[in-house]
Amino acid sequence: MNKKSTPLKYFAFAVIALLLLIEGVCLYQHHRAATPKDTGRQNVSSQPASATSDPQEVSETPDPGSPEGKVYFSFEKLLSQSSFRAKTDASINLRGKLIKGKRHMSANALITGVNDRDHLNLDMTTKTTTRGKTEKSHSTYKDGWYITNNGKEKTRTERSPEEVLSMVTFVSDIMQDASSQLEDMKVTPKGSDTLYEFTLSGETASYYFCQIIEQASMSTEELKNVTGTVDSLKMTCRINKKGVLKEQSASVSGKVSKSIFTIPVTLTETTSFSLYK
């Protein structure tokens, strides 16, 4: 399976990039003479090509009848629909010495032409709240052009249908990419639905954590070549009786470091899907 691009977190993780940069500048001014502490934990660089292997190298499509297969193919069934709505809620908690507190993002999207990528359309509203300040934006995608208007400026960029889909299916992308490495699988009936709970650990969890950080660092030179350590990566997947993905969630906590700066970060995200006719 081709790995999908993951620009979905530009609106949420751009917040991380900005705040990490501010954190680094402030810490540098106050701790110029400080030296890094050895935590004894294994760091994984955000440069997977040179510092950590891609876990997809050993990934393979699971048995459709297994719990892992149910998770994998529930996403495929969602993408075979003509259209669906996606509602996302995500929170970012930075626990640095000088910058603390939660940042929240919510998004509501309607995606049509899902099973016909040449005619994929997106209509999405996004709201982000940081330090009590809320900003709203409206985004659309049609004929290969992604347009965003936040009331102050309007941007227009050319993007592929896969990039746009990844904006609302980021967690699902991870679930599929690492489907052969899901651990601690727990399956629980929830009415007519089934809830799957599992974890990613070790190198795999660190790899995907670093992908998030790498994405954030693309727009900020000061955040290039950061390292990341992950404490845990927990995921859930709710599938309806037809085997179609209904809800996905992920939570991850870890630290990002560069030079003498280390900032604890906790991310949580839940996205629910409903078919649209």
* 54-68, 160-174, 185-199: range with lowest mean pLDDT: 54-68
Report the distance separating Cα 200 and Cα 204, nearest Å.
Answer: 6
Burial class (CB in 10 A: 0-12, 13-18, 19+), 99: middle
* pLDDT single digits (tens) 143-169: 999 999 999 999 999 999 999 998 888
Q: Which regions of the chain does DSSP assign to beta strands (E)?
A: 44-45, 83-95, 100-112, 121-130, 133-142, 145-149, 154-158, 183-190, 193-200, 227-239, 245-258, 261-275
Q: What is the overall mean pLDDT for the chain?
A: 76
* pLDDT single digits (tens) 89-104: 988 787 877 656 777 8
pLDDT, position 99: 58
What is the pTM (predicted TM-score) of this model? 0.74
Is the pLDDT reported for residue 139 higher than 60? Answer: yes
Per-residue tokens: 210:
């670093």
- pLDDT grade for 212, boundaries at 50, 70 and 90: low
Burial class (CB in 10 A: 0-12, 13-18, 19+), 122: buried
Single out the residue of 247, 246, 93, 250 nearest to residue 182, CA to CA: 250
Single out the residue of 118, 88, 74 nearest to residue 242, CA to CA: 74
